[in-house]
Chain A
Amino acid sequence: MRLTLISILQPSVCTLPPEYCEFNTTLKKCKEWLQKNHVDLYNKLYVDTVTEGVASVALTPAATPKDTSSKLEKKLEAEAEKKRKTKVIIKSEKRKGKKVVTVITGLDVFGVDLKKASKLFSQKFATGSSVGKNAEGSQEVVIQGDVAHEVMDLIVENYPTVPEDNLQIKA
C-alpha cells in the first residue's frame, strides 16, 4: 500500500512552506498572499494562535516587520533600478578577414535564459551561437554573422521582459 503524499503548498512569494514565512523578510507579502489564496491556512497560522494564546510567541517576530519590509522594498527597488539602467547592447565585431560576429550583452539581467536564447538564435539564423563571458565577467551571447538588426526584432518579439527602449545597437 502506498501512503498518500503530503500535499505541499508552493507559495509564490517566498517559496517556503507557509509556516516558516514568519522567519523570512517577506512576511508581509506572504501573509497577504496566504490570505488571498488559502484562507483556512491563514487563519490557522496567524489568527488562531492569538485566540488560543498557546503560541502568542508566534506573533512576536511580526513585531519587527517594519524595518525588514522596508529593507525588502529597497532591495526590490534597487533591482528595478538596475533593470532600468542596464542596456542590452547588440554589437557587431570583426573577426578574422571579412568575418563578423554579433555580440549581445546584458540579457541576463532581464531573466532571459541565455542558453535557450542562443539556441533560438542559432536556429533562426542558421548559424552558430554560444554563451560566453566577456572581459568584465558578465555573460554574453555570441552569434556568428552580422545579424544585429534581425536579432533586435527577435528579442523584442520573444522576450517581453526586455523593454524595447533598453535595446541598443552599437556599430
Chain B
Amino acid sequence: MSLFKKFDVNESVSGQTKTKSSVQRAIRTKIAEQYPALEPYLDDLIPKKSPLVLVKCKDHIQLLTVNGKILFFNHYDGPWMPVLRLLHQYPFMMPALQVDRGAIKFILSSANIMCPGLTSPGAWMPAESLPAESPVAIFAEGKHFPLAIGWLKMSTDDIRKINKGIGVDNLHHLNDLLWKTEELH
C-alpha cells in the first residue's frame, strides 16, 4: 500500500532539520552507492553549497529536500528512494519492471503489484535476477514514464515461479499525495 495515501503537509510533517555537513555526506554516499547510475548527476541534485533538509514525517517516513524540492524518501531508515518527479528525469537510475496495461488502473489507486501483472505478455522483467527487498521503478506497457516506485516483496525469480500474490509493494505512485506535494517549505 502506498505510503502516501494519507499525507498532509500540515499534519504529517513533524519536523524539518537542516542536516549537518557530515550527515549530508553520509546520505550522499549512501545514495551514490545505491544508485551508481545517478552519481554523475548528484552534484546537480544536491549541490554541495545548498542545505539538504531532512523532513521527518509521521509513520517513520523521512523526506530529503533541497531548496524546498522533495528528492528522496525513505521508510524506517531503509534505503532512500527517489520521488517520481526525480525518477522521470533520470529513469535509468534504478532497476525497472514493467507491468501490463490492466494493472495500471489499480496501481494508480495505490494497490500493490501482484505477480501475474508482472509475468503476463505485456509485462517485462529484467533477465538477471533481482533479490527481494530491492527498490524498483515500475513502468507500464506502452507508456514512457514510470508510474510507481516499489519494493520487491520476493525476488524476480520467485515472481516468475510462484506467480501468485503480492510481488512488489507499491510505495509511491503517480497522483498520490506525495506526488501532489510538489514543494515543501
Chain B residue nearest to A22 in the complex (CB): B104
Tally A-B pairs: CB < 8 A.
39
Known contacts A5-B89, A6-B88, A16-B174; decide if A23 and B180 are in contact (CB<8 Å): no
Is B89 in contact with A57, judged by CB distance below 8 angstroms?
A: no
Least Cβ–Cβ distance between B33 and chain A, in angstroms: 21
Is A20 in contact with B101, judged by CB distance below 8 angstroms?
A: no
Is B142 in contact with A23, judged by CB distance below 8 angstroms?
A: no
A residues near B174, Cβ cutoff 8 Å:
16-17, 20
Interface flags for B76-103 (1: CB within 8 Å of A; 0: not) read: 0000000001001111000000000100
Tell me the bound Cα distance from A23 to B147 in angstroms.
12
A14 within 8 A of B: yes
B residues near A19, Cβ cutoff 8 Å:
143-145
Is A55 in contact with B89, judged by CB distance below 8 angstroms?
A: no
Is A15 in contact with B180, judged by CB distance below 8 angstroms?
A: yes
Q: Chain B: interface secondary structure?
A: helix
Chain A residue nearest to B85 in the complex (CB): A8
Tell me the bound Cα distance from A15 to B143 in angstroms.
16
Known contacts A55-B142, A57-B101; decide if A16 and B89 are in contact (CB<8 Å): no
Tell me the bound Cα distance from A69 to B89 in angstroms.
31
Task: Give the contacting residue for A14; candidates B91, B147, B175; CB below 8 A.
Answer: B175
Among A5, A17, A55, A58, residue most surrounded by chain B Cβ atoms (within 10 Å): A17
Which A residues have a C-beta under 8 Å from some C-beta of B?
Answer: 2, 5-6, 8, 14-17, 19-20, 23-24, 55, 57-58, 139
Which B residues have a C-beta under 8 Å from some C-beta of A?
Answer: 10, 40-41, 85, 88-91, 101, 104-105, 108, 142-145, 147, 174-175, 179-180, 182
Question: 9 A-B residue contacts at CB 8 Å?
Answer: A8-B85, A8-B88, A8-B89, A15-B175, A17-B174, A20-B145, A24-B175, A55-B142, A139-B10
Besides A16-B174, A19-B143, A20-B147, 6 other CB < 8 A contacts? Answer: A2-B41, A5-B89, A15-B175, A15-B180, A16-B175, A55-B142
